[in-house]
């Protein structure tokens, strides 16, 4: 569990022990889920942080497993399905938004790319939960989280708070609970470059580099210098030595992470990651120099962080373990490829007026390698949350907007995505205005058929739609395309539902003029089409 420090120490030997204890008792990401909600000063919490034999055994099994897993040295990548759950208030407000999720995914995959571990958003969507209790304290709303968990993904729940409070000296930023095998995060950490990656390390069995020192970070007045004690302040773990002689038995059990006696907690130099310039010695009188930029340490605000090679291998071994079968089986290779272009409007064109106001077919170009999108539509050009009417993932480069007002300006932008590329920029902000014409069926005869091609003129990439209004009842028919000189180009069978529908012209045609013919038992209509 990661906490935000409310105040920083001027030096490591000026620690107020009472303040430290009050602030760090929420550090324990491994403690049983129900126990977190107990009184923050409950004594047993000090030894609750992942000191359970089961969790340390899992870590040690993974360390042993990497000796025999040749696949860890291959060039293959590891693809992890992740499910983000946005816990909102009952009124729908307060949760995280799609573009924030996309940005967090971009950060996450950038952080883990050096280790060939990548995450993809399962179902290409967010799960939304509307519950005030879970929003304010998900720790006390286990049943709500259980009913929403996805058993085929790494579950990450986002809420306004993670627990009911921080004891006055600390705020819990996030935690992983082994009992429920999920991660809980504060909303204000959604674009953190460190916090979620830290908790994912715990998810894959990594421990703090300073394991055993959570209850009481090193203080010269308490622990001395040299540090002569053999057991860490938790009374269980061994104090790790700088020469590596007990690295496989002490602290995080990983030998390419140097000892750390929780020096990062309260470190103020450089905003939390300035040079560690205190000469601390172990009982062999060897200097202890922590790895400040390790994801599993507690030095904050480093410019970048990293996992050591062994830490990376341990995470891969955990992913390949039987325990993690649910993350591997049944998933194909995620869609990938860089997205270098931004979408542009097809219909309505930027600044143009739509045909109707209560049904607007919004279309945009599909950049190469894009498989889905985040769309924002609002009433002001800044597209701030307060004026957004749509902010959601969409699977195709088009959407039918309903419920818009007549004779009004609207603004929109779109961000192209695929399963492994979340870093493509959003498009420019485009605009359109609605007409004062309604498509209400009362405007049409009781029977009849009407079709229009939008956009027309269109492009030559098969992004054109036929918009149909059918009052003959459900129809089966054919759609044929002819060149300007009457040459037949293609035909396909189509279904024409009753009412309003949209049909994509999938054919890729060269620029020119064509005729589109729709034919069924009751319908025969030919429409001109211009492609440029």
Contact 47, 25 (CB under 8 A): no
Q: Which residue has the higher pLDDT, 196 or 509?
A: 196
- Comparing 2-325 with 345-433, is the CATH topology the same? no
DSSP letter at 19 equals: H
Contact 511, 435 (CB under 8 A): no
Q: Out of 72-86, 92-106, 441-455, pick the least confident.
A: 441-455
Q: CA-CA distance, 100 to 49, in Å (whole number)?
A: 30
Q: What Å distances lie between residue 468 and 67, 348, 462, 525, CA to CA?
A: 63, 17, 18, 11
**Is the CATH code 3.40.1390.40 the one for domain 2-325?**
no
Contact 488, 480 (CB under 8 A): yes
Give the architecture (CATH level 2) of 442-531: Sandwich (2.60)
So what's the pLDDT on residue 291?
98
Averaged pLDDT, 366-383: 95
So what's the pLDDT on residue 438?
87
3-state secondary structure of 446: coil
The model's pLDDT over 244-260, given as tens digits with 9 standing for 90+, comes to 999 999 999 999 999 99
The mean of the pLDDT values for the chain is 85
Contact 363, 375 (CB under 8 A): no
CB half-sphere exposure, 520, CA atoms < 13 A:
16
pTM above 0.95, yes or no: no
The model's pLDDT over 480-508, given as tens digits with 9 standing for 90+, comes to 999 988 899 999 999 998 887 888 887 77
3-state secondary structure of 402: strand
The model's pLDDT over 258-283, given as tens digits with 9 standing for 90+, comes to 999 999 988 999 889 999 999 999 99
Other CB atoms within 10 A of residue 504 CB? 13
Q: Where are the domains of the chain?
A: 2-325, 345-433, 442-531
Other CB atoms within 10 A of residue 369 CB? 18
Q: Out of 63-67, 75-79, 102-106, 303-307, pick the least confident.
A: 75-79
Q: Residue 401: is its pLDDT beyond 80?
A: yes
Q: What Å distances lie between residue 279 and 250, 263, 264, 276, 471, CA to CA?
A: 21, 12, 14, 9, 84
Q: Residue 22: is its pLDDT beyond 80?
A: no
Other CB atoms within 10 A of residue 40 CB? 20
Q: Residue 470: is its pLDDT beyond 90?
A: no
CATH topology of domain 345-433: Immunoglobulin-like (2.60.40)
Note the residue count of the chain: 532
Q: CA-CA distance, 200 to 300, in Å (whole number)?
A: 17
The model's pLDDT over 426-450, given as tens digits with 9 standing for 90+, comes to 999 999 999 998 876 444 444 578 8
So what's the pLDDT on residue 273?
93
57 exposure class (CB count in 10 Å sphere: 0-12, 13-18, 19+):
exposed
3-state secondary structure of 268: coil
Q: Residue 19: is its pLDDT beyond 60?
A: no
DSSP letter at 349 equals: P
Q: CA-CA distance, 145 to 86, in Å (whole number)?
A: 11
Q: Residue 16: is its pLDDT beyond 60?
A: no
Nearest Cα to Cα of residue 94 among 58, 45, 129, 62: 129
Q: Which residue has the higher pLDDT, 335 or 5?
A: 335
Confidence of residue 75 (pLDDT cuts 50, 70, 90): low
């Amino acid at each position: 569990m990661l906490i935000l420090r409310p105040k920083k120490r001027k030096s490591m030997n000026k620690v107020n022990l009472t303040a430290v204890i009050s602030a760090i008792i929420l550090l324990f990401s491994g403690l049983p889920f129900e126990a977190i909600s107990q009184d923050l000063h409950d004594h047993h919490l000090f030894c609750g942080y992942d000191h359970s034999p089961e969790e340390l055994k899992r870590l040690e099994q993974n360390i042993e497993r990497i000796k025999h897993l040749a696949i860890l040295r291959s060039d293959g990548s590891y693809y992890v399905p992740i499910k983000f759950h946005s816990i909102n208030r009952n009124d729908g407000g307060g949760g995280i938004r799609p573009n924030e999720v996309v940005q967090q995914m971009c950060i996450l995959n950038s952080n883990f790319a050096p280790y060939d571990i990548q995450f993809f958003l399962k179902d290409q969507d967010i799960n939304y939960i509307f519950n005030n209790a879970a929003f304010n304290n998900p720790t006390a709303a286990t049943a709500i989280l259980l009913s929403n968990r996805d058993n085929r993904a790494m579950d990450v729940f986002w809420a306004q708070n993670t627990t009911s409070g921080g004891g006055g000296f600390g705020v819990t930023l996030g935690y992983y609970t082994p009992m429920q095998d999920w991660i809980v995060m504060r909303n204000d950490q959604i674009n953190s470059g460190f916090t979620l990656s830290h908790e994912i390390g715990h998810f894959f069995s990594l421990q703090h580099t300073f394991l055993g020192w959570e209850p009481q970070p090193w203080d010269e007045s308490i622990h001395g210098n040299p540090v002569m004690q053999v057991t860490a302040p938790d009374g269980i773990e061994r104090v790790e030595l700088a020469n590596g002689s007990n690295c496989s038995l002490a602290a995080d059990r990983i030998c390419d992470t140097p000892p750390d006696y929780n020096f990062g907690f309260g470190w103020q130099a450089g905003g939390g990651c300035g040079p560690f310039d205190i000469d601390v010695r172990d009982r062999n009188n060897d200097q202890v120099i922590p790895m400040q930029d390790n994801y599993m340490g507690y030095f904050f605000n480093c410019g970048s962080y990293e996992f050591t090679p062994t830490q990376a291998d341990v995470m891969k071994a955990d992913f390949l373990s039987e325990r993690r079968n649910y993350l591997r089986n049944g998933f194909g290779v995620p869609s990938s490829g860089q997205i270098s272009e931004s979408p542009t409007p097809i219909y309505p064109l930027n600044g143009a007026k739509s045909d109707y106001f209560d049904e607007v077919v919004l279309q945009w170009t599909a950049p190469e390698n894009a498989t889905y999108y985040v769309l924002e539509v609002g009433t002001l050009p800044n597209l701030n949350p307060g004026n957004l009417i749509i902010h959601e993932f969409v699977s195709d480069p088009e959407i039918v907007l309903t419920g818009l007002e007549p004779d009004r300006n609207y603004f929109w932008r779109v961000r192209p995505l695929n399963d492994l590329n979340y870093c493509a920029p959003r498009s420019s902000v485009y605009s359109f205005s609605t007409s004062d014409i309604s498509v209400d069926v009362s405007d049409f005869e009781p029977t009849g058929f009407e079709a229009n091609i939008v956009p027309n003129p269109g492009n030559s990439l098969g992004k054109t739609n036929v918009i149909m209004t059918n009052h003959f009842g459900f129809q089966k028919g054919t759609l044929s395309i002819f060149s300007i000189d009457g040459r037949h180009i293609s035909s396909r069978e189509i279904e024409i539902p009753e009412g309003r529908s949209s049909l994509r012209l999938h054919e890729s045609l060269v620029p020119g003029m064509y005729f589109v013919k729709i034919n069924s038992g009751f319908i025969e209509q030919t429409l001109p089409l211009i492609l440029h």
